Structure 1
Amino acid sequence: MKYDLGDLNAFVAVARSRGFRDAARASGASASGLSEAVRRLEAQMGVRLLNRTTRSVVPTEAGERLLARLAPALGEVEAALDVVNGFRDKPMGTLRLNVPVTAARLVLPRIVPEFLAAYPDIRLEVIAEDSFVDVLAAGCDAGIRYDERLEQDMIAVPIGPRVQRFAAVASPAYLAGRGRPEHPRDLLDHACLRGRFSSGSMPDWEFSRDGELVRVDPPAQLIVQSGGAMDLALDAALAGCGILYLFEDWLRPHLDTGALEPVLEPWWDSFPGPFLYYPGRRLVPAPLRAFVDFVRAGSPQRG
């Protein structure tokens, strides 16, 4: 039995967006047209794919299974059709990236303006979230993650700084009132400002010096969701509420002005920088190929 490609795309758009209006805004189609396409597909298949209420649209079990298989397949079709992009003077189309908030804040600002200027016909969409996702199932072409979170069948391209550090900092007022820790375990007696992942985990703070690795689970005066809400923790640190542990690059402007001071700096732990990654078993869409080449050719100051 043959199915209309437009109906299949409509289902994927609605299932991902969890609503007809949001899907319409994302796809440029009308909500009524998407609704009719999904109804037509359900009638042809003889099974309900979406549960609809006045407040939400959620895939049924059959819909979830179809989405899991269909989204990557449609991505392959789109990539195959995109081959003709190679015959244009400049690639065009949409490039979707899934990145952690830190990459959106610390890595992409050094790359995106130049890339968009070089490729004005490419539309870049960036989804910033700290949970690990299947980029294809999420409708993205590529992602940015760190080495320990990369899957083996992915192609990984270095992007951004190749060495980064986590830094512990506090305001001069806090340190004047509470004293300065001399060893990571001293943090157990301090007010700390911590981040928690959306999964619920709150990672220990890691420090290393002369081959000694120390992990501490300090008491939290403030807990925020890792990612975008870390700005609240940063504001609290600037206001003297406690000690913050975050990417050094994120904190650097405040360290340079003296608004924050290093804490336990000889113990700051370094780690390899992030990677741009994408599946190696599919055709590479022209916008992604252009971005990969742009990153690989990046100047030292961009990395």
Structure 2
Amino acid sequence: MAHNLADVNAFIAVARARGFRNAARIEGTSASALSDAVRRLEGRLGARLLHRTTRSISLTEAGARLMARLEPALSEVDAALSGVGRVGDEPAGTLRLNVPVSAARLILPDLVPAFLAAYPQIRLEITAEDSFVDVLAAGADAGIRYDERLEQDMIAVPIGPRIQRFACAAAPAYLDARGRPGHPRDLLDHACLRGRFSSGASPAWEFERERETVMIEGDGPLIVNLGPAIDLAVEAAIAGTGIIYLFEAWLAPLLKSGALEPVLPDWWPSFPGPFLYYSGRRLVPPPLRAFIDFIRARPSS
């Protein structure tokens, strides 16, 4: 069945803009023309793609499935078109990355300024969130994740330190008042400042020494959304509210200044560093290829 690509483009514009009027302004056409194009496409497909109300539109299940299939294809078309005539030229365009908040805080600051200085024609768009999303469906070119959260059939490139540690710490005044734990199980008698994923799961605190591993699910007066609100828990720990468990690199400046004191440092667990990952089934856009080459050329710690 042959399809009018103009009608397909009209559907994409409306879906992205979440409305006919907004899409019409962006595309430089009329809302009625877009509406007619979407109706023609729906008629050929035999399926409703949009729920229409007087105030808003939303994708139907069929529309959402179609967009999920179209987005990767559109990215490949954009990459192919942007690469035409640029062989040997400086890479240019937009690179979209979806990363955890920890990577935006601990990994990217050491990379982004140097990368943008080396490639002034590239614009970097970064979305930092700790919910588990399909980076391609979210419109990103690549993502940063840890090994246990990598999606299948993706190419993974090491990025940042190859070994990281979790650290446990508290304000000296808190430890003077409540005592210093000698074993991870002692934390069950302390105020633990916990984190929670957007899924609702609250990860246990893991400790290891030699061949012993201990998982602790402590309790305390504060639970924050992991990622967006973690700085609030850090400030609470500095103020003496309780004990925090976080990336060692995140807490390192506070440990160095004495604002926080290490707790059970002999038990801090190490884990492999993160990876940049992207689909091996797509044409790699020039900005992403430049970023991959850039991080591969940097020494890993």
How far apart in 2 are the matches of 1:11 and 1:279? 25
Could you say which residue in structure 2 is the equivalent of 1:37?
34
Query: What residue in structure 2 maps to residue 82 of structure 1?
Result: 82
Task: Note the alpha carbon deviations across 1:73-105, whole angstroms, 9 max, x for none.
Answer: 222222332332641520111110010000011
- 3-state SS of paired residue (1:220): coil
Letter in 1 for 2:100: P
Q: Give the Cα–Cα distance (whole angstroms) in 2 for the partners of residues 243 and 297 of structure 1.
A: 39
Amino acid at match of 2:266: P
Query: How far apart, CA to CA, are the structure 2 residues paired with 1:55 and 1:258?
Result: 55
Q: Contact 1:164 / 1:273 at 8 angstroms: preserved in 2? A: yes
| Aligned positions, number | 297
Aligned to 1:113: 113
Give the 3 Å change call, closer, same or farther, for CA 179–34 of structure 1 in structure 2: farther
SS of alignment partner, residue 206 of structure 1: strand
Of stretches 37-46 and 90-99 in structure 1, the one that deviates more from structure 2 is 37-46
Correspondence for 1:103: 103
Deviations 1:149-179 (A, max 9, x none): 1123111111011110111110011101111
Q: Aligned equivalents of 1:101 and 1:87: distance in 2? A: 35
CA–CA distance in structure 2, aligned partners of residues 224 and 70 of structure 1: 37
Distance in 2 (CA, whole Å) between partners of 1:234 and 1:20 is 45
Per the alignment, residue 286 of structure 1 pairs with 286
TM-score for both structures, normalised by structure 2: 0.90
Contact 1:10 1:34 in 2 (8 A): no
CA distance in structure 2 between the partners assigned to 1:134 and 1:36 by the alignment:
33
- Find the counterpart in structure 1 of residue 246 from structure 2: 246
- SS across alignment from 1:181: coil
Paired AA for residue 41 in structure 2: Q
For the structure 1 residues 14 and 276, does the alpha-carbon distance in structure 2 shift closer, same or farther, using more than 3 Å as the test? farther
TM-score by length of 1: 0.90
Corresponding residue of 2:128: 128
- 1:221: Cα distance to partner? 1.5
Counterpart of 2:5, as a letter, is D
Per mean C-alpha deviation after superposition, the further-off stretch among 43-52 and 191-200 is 43-52
What SS is found at the alignment partner of 2:169?
strand
Secondary structure of the structure 2 residue equivalent to 1:208: strand
Amino acid at match of 1:272: P
**1:266-285 equivalences in 2 (<5 Å):** 266-285=266-285
CA distance in 2, matches of 1:112, 1:67: 31
Q: 1:134 to 1:257 in 2, by over 3 A?
A: same
Partner of 1:166: 166
What secondary structure sits across from 2:250 in the alignment? Answer: helix
1:3/1:41 contact within 8 Å kept: no
Check conservation: 2:101, 2:128, Cα contact below 8 A. Answer: yes
Report the equivalent of 2:4.
3
SS state at 1:29 partner: helix
* Structure 2: gaps spanning 5 or more residues: none
User: 2:63, 2:290 → 1: CA distance?
Assistant: 34
Shift of 1:281: 1.2
Report the equivalent of 2:176.
176
Q: Is the 8 A contact 2:207 2:213 kept in 1?
A: yes
Where structure 1 has 5 or more consecutive residues not aligned to the other structure, the ranges are none
Change (3 A) 1:88 1:261: same
Aligned CA distance change for structure 1 residues 194 and 61 (closer, same or farther; 3 Å): same
Residue type of the partner of 1:176?
D
Runs of 4+ in 1 over 6 A off after TM superposition: 20-24
C-alpha RMSD of the superposition = 2.4
> Residue type matched to 1:221 in 2?
P
Provide the rounded CA distance (Å) in 2 between the counterparts of 1:194 and 1:35: 52
In 1, are the aligned partners of 2:21 and 2:31 still within 8 Å (CA)? no
Do the aligned partners of residues 241 and 12 (structure 1) sit closer, same or farther apart at CA in structure 2, a change above 3 Å counting? farther
Query: Shift of the alpha carbon at 1:274?
Result: 0.3
